[in-house]
Amino acid sequence: MNDWRLQGQEKFLMGATLAFRKYEPYRSGWDHDHCEFCGIKFSKLAGDKNEGYVTHDMYRWICKDCFEDFRNMFHWVNNSDMET
């Protein structure tokens, strides 16, 4: 697949378990994150994405569109009931 959004993410997202969550910063002092694929901004502010798919450690965020586009290629498990 030739897609500008693919830039080596398989190194850290292949086979990942993801959950759909409201955005929460990874740590104190952070106010936003970006989709690992398209770069769209996640934050708690109006106008930004306020929810998306996130890894179990709450570090890597993926927007709904990129999740749908790459879920099969990356063999993601959708575990939206996981503990946070």
pLDDT in tens, 16-63: 999 999 999 999 999 999 999 999 999 999 999 999 999 999 999 999
Residue 84: pLDDT band (50, 70, 90) is very low
**Would you state the pLDDT for residue 81?**
56
**Would you state the pLDDT for residue 56?**
93
List Cβ<8 Å contacts ≥24 apart for 32-37.
33/61, 34/61, 35/61, 35/62, 35/63, 35/66, 36/9, 36/60, 36/61, 36/62, 36/66, 37/5, 37/6, 37/9, 37/62, 37/63, 37/66, 37/69, 37/70
